[in-house]
Structure 1
Amino acid sequence: MTAKYLVTGASGQLGQRVLHHLLATSGVAAGDVIAASRKPEQLADLAEKGVLVRRVDFDDAASMEAAFAEAEKVLIISTDSLDRPGHRLVQHRAAIASAEKAGVKHLLYTSMPEPANSPLLFAPDHEGTEAAIAASSIPAWTILRNNWYFENVMMSAGPALASGHWYSAAGNGKVAHIARDDIGRAIAAALVAATDAKVTYTLTGASSYTHAEMGALVSKASGKDIAVIDVPVEGLVQGMVGAGLPEPVARVFASIDTMVGSGGLSRITGDFKALTGVEPQSFETWVESQAGAFKSMIP
């Protein structure tokens, strides 16, 4: 039987890039691809190309059983349920169990760098999911530990360009981040790779940057000076709460800076090139491409 590739979270930004590269870069026939989402109505363009669209909800076992049927290779993109501590791990475990029941031959999962003993507040979701996959009876699996996306810089750039200040609790910690599109390309390559192995890749950019270095590059592209201000983690939390974020959410975001400061996102690997055969886009190139967006953030 022709291999069927199933992508969950297909209506999300990463899922869309994975599907694009499966079809356009890896040359997989649309009829061999299943796009699964809680919002299948958003996938009409893929259906028109011949991709099979299915509804999947990780809180609904019946939907997973139906979605995973006949799929040989399944990509589980980690869910966005960050507002209910521990719920995401429950969802992922249910998806793994459904994949086992469906007889999936190869399971792939989007994780994060170094989830064990990480100060990041949602790292246990990833660590627990990886453990559940390793304990499963699925013959082959691939863990894709994705570093932060370039695009995540936009969340900090907006307030920084508005005020001229980037408040950071990361110290001199560095981030080896990578373009979301490159992550999608690497995942697509991992999906089509013939394997019966159990492997873990850490997908990073080719360089790493401190917040001060990121701020300098954004300043150059936007034409507005940004001063990176070092603050304690609690100060960062209170600043976000003061800006309107719920405190639990602010603490999750602040824990990212703690992780950066501890070096949890700094390691550079060659795994992206090993999977794709090409070099990742550079951060400088991406920043330059976003100059217009950065300038539009300046009041």
Structure 2
Amino acid sequence: MAIADLTISPFHRRALPLHPGCACARHKETNMKTMHLAVAVAGASGQLGSLVVNELASQCAGHPGTTLAAITRTPERHAAWQAQGIDVRWGDFDQPQGLAAAFHGVGRLLLISTNVIDGTGRRIAQHQHAIEAARQAGVVHIVYTSFLQPEDGKRSLLNDDHRATEALLAASGIAHTILRNAFYQDLLLAVLGAAAVDGQLRTAMGAGHVSYVAREDCAHAAAAALADGYSGNRILDITGPASLDAPALAAIAARLFGKPVEVVHLDMDARARHFITSGMPAPMAQMLAGIERWLATDAMHIVSDDYRVLTGRQASPVPAFLHAHRQQLLAPALPPA
């Protein structure tokens, strides 16, 4: 789907009712106007944001007159984007007074969730600032990068801020697409790196399953949701093609490493200690151990076909990702050159 082809998509899995103030006729009218408005990525400097900007830039290259804006706290770092004709703008979710100006002239906005996970409510406030600024600027549609939401009773700190942000979007009156992304496959590099050394996959995830997804696939999904012109409200689960438990990961790693890999189940405290002895800072070690313990509830087992329907692509499987990063995984196990 080219970014200039802003037609209304028939794809509306788990489509939500429009806000009472948003009549269908009004959405069709504003959808036509988005052809003359910018498509913007807020949080453009991050790993996901950069991937989305670069993909959209390649689409824009064949469509003169299409405006792509990249909103970031560090516009001075992106001279290369500016040279490509991308409108690089300053914007900071912690400074709401300037956000409406950053979103001026934007029709469709990608709101990438911030990485503040501290339980203080700061991330919710950041997202609220962005949504309110988008409303003030007249943004027609917001695409928000959320997180897989498990059934009730399996909530965590990782989910709560996203639940709150989804509620803010529902109350905003702005049409929106919510992309509930699974855990990135990148996390497996830290989990399996030690297994390459000693043949032991240590984990606190018990019998839990996870549908790990490639970060690049999440970028493809975000770019597609921005470009398809959909004008209603929808929720999409962006997952990998399979849900894997620890034994399945160990089997994949064994084939990749060419040696047996044993699953070693640990409690959360022991897992945190292992992360720390591997050189990880204690706060991060405790957080990751806690996440693994939460995964033992099977909260992240969801597998969805939404990615394929949205993008027309097949989601990348875990073995392909690990094979592409084989040298990085094996580096600790290789003798010095």
Q: Which of 164, 168, 173 is equivalent to 1:128?
A: 164
User: Do 2:48 and 2:215's aligned partners in 1 also have CA atoms closer than 8 Å?
Assistant: yes
Q: CA deviation at 1:201?
A: 0.3
Q: Structure 1 291/240 Cα, relative in aligned 2: closer, same or farther at 3 Å?
A: closer
Q: Which of 262, 271, 295 is equivalent to 1:260?
A: 295
Q: Structure 1 30/47 Cα, relative in aligned 2: closer, same or farther at 3 Å?
A: farther
Q: Structure 1 230/11 Cα, relative in aligned 2: closer, same or farther at 3 Å?
A: same
User: Residue 22 in 1 paired to residue 41 in 2?
Assistant: no
Q: Structure 1 290/246 Cα, relative in aligned 2: closer, same or farther at 3 Å?
A: closer
| Percent identical | 32
Structure 2 letter corresponding to 1:126: H
Q: Structure 1 292/239 Cα, relative in aligned 2: closer, same or farther at 3 Å?
A: closer
TM-score after normalising by structure 2:
0.81
- More displaced stretch, 155-164 vs 59-68: 155-164
Q: Secondary structure at the match of 2:157?
A: coil
**How many residue pairs end up in the alignment?**
298
Q: Structure 1 240/292 Cα, relative in aligned 2: closer, same or farther at 3 Å?
A: closer
- More displaced stretch, 193-202 vs 226-235: 226-235
CA distances 1:161-213 after superposition (whole Å, capped 9, x unpaired): 34433221111211111111111011100011122211000001111111222
User: Residue 13 in 1 paired to residue 42 in 2?
Assistant: no
Write the mapping of 1:215-226 to structure 2, written as runs, cut at 5 A. Answer: 215-226=250-261
Higher relative contact order (CA 8 A, sep 6+): 2
User: Do 2:177 and 2:234's aligned partners in 1 also have CA atoms closer than 8 Å?
Assistant: yes
* CA distance in structure 2 between the partners assigned to 1:226 and 1:28 by the alignment: 50
* Unmatched runs of 5 consecutive residues or more in structure 2: 1-32
User: Do 1:150 and 1:179's aligned partners in 2 also have CA atoms closer than 8 Å?
Assistant: yes
1:180 matched to which residue of 2? 215
Write the mapping of 1:46-125 to structure 2, written as runs, cut at 5 A. Answer: 46-83=81-118, 85-114=120-149, 117-125=153-161
Q: Which of 303, 306, 328 is equivalent to 1:271?
A: 306
User: Do 1:218 and 1:294's aligned partners in 2 also have CA atoms closer than 8 Å?
Assistant: no
2:18 matched to which residue of 1? none
Q: CA deviation at 1:46?
A: 1.3
- The higher radius of gyration belongs to 2
Structure 1 letter corresponding to 2:48: L
* CA distance in structure 2 between the partners assigned to 1:291 and 1:30 by the alignment: 42
User: Do 1:259 and 1:265's aligned partners in 2 also have CA atoms closer than 8 Å?
Assistant: no
Structure 2 letter corresponding to 1:60: Q
- More displaced stretch, 245-254 vs 50-59: 245-254
* Unmatched runs of 5 consecutive residues or more in structure 1: none
Q: CA deviation at 1:228?
A: 2.0
Q: Secondary structure at the match of 1:150?
A: coil
Q: CA deviation at 1:224?
A: 4.9
Q: Which runs of 4+ in 1 moved over 4 A?
A: 25-31, 241-248
Q: Structure 1 18/12 Cα, relative in aligned 2: closer, same or farther at 3 Å?
A: same
User: Do 2:148 and 2:159's aligned partners in 1 also have CA atoms closer than 8 Å?
Assistant: no
Q: CA deviation at 1:141?
A: 0.4
* CA distance in structure 2 between the partners assigned to 1:41 and 1:93 by the alignment: 26
* CA distance in structure 1 between the partners assigned to 2:98 and 2:279 by the alignment: 36
Structure 1 letter corresponding to 2:167: A
- More displaced stretch, 45-54 vs 148-157: 148-157
1:148 matched to which residue of 2? 183
* CA distance in structure 1 between the partners assigned to 2:120 and 2:259 by the alignment: 38
